[in-house]
């Protein structure tokens, strides 16, 4: 079974607890406000992202 993290409105910030959780999923789906687009690069370094 594929595990997908749904996250939204990060406004350029990911806490360490969120980063640790994202490591346990297969994909990250982001909706809402991202803020600085470097955040997508940060999430892509953890798992594939759809935003």
What pLDDT digit, counting tens, does each position of 6-41 carry?
999 999 999 999 999 999 999 999 999 999 999 999
Q: Which long-range contacts link 18-24 to residues 24+ away (Cβ below 8 Å)?
A: 19/46, 22/46, 22/47, 23/47
Give the pLDDT of residue 15: 96
Give the pLDDT of residue 25: 99
CB 26 within 8 A of CB 2: yes
Q: Tokens 């994909």 — which residue?
A: 27
Give the pLDDT of residue 48: 98
pTM of the model: 0.91
- Structure-block tokens of residue 11: 């406004």
DSSP H or E run through 30: strand 27-31
Backbone angles phi, psi at 41, to 5 degrees: -60, -40
């Amino acid at each position: 079974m594929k595990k997908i993290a749904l996250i939204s409105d990060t406004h350029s910030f990911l806490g360490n607890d969120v980063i640790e959780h994202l490591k346990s999923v297969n994909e990250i789906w982001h909706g809402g406000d991202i803020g600085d687009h470097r955040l997508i690069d940060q999430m892509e370094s953890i798992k594939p992202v759809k935003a």
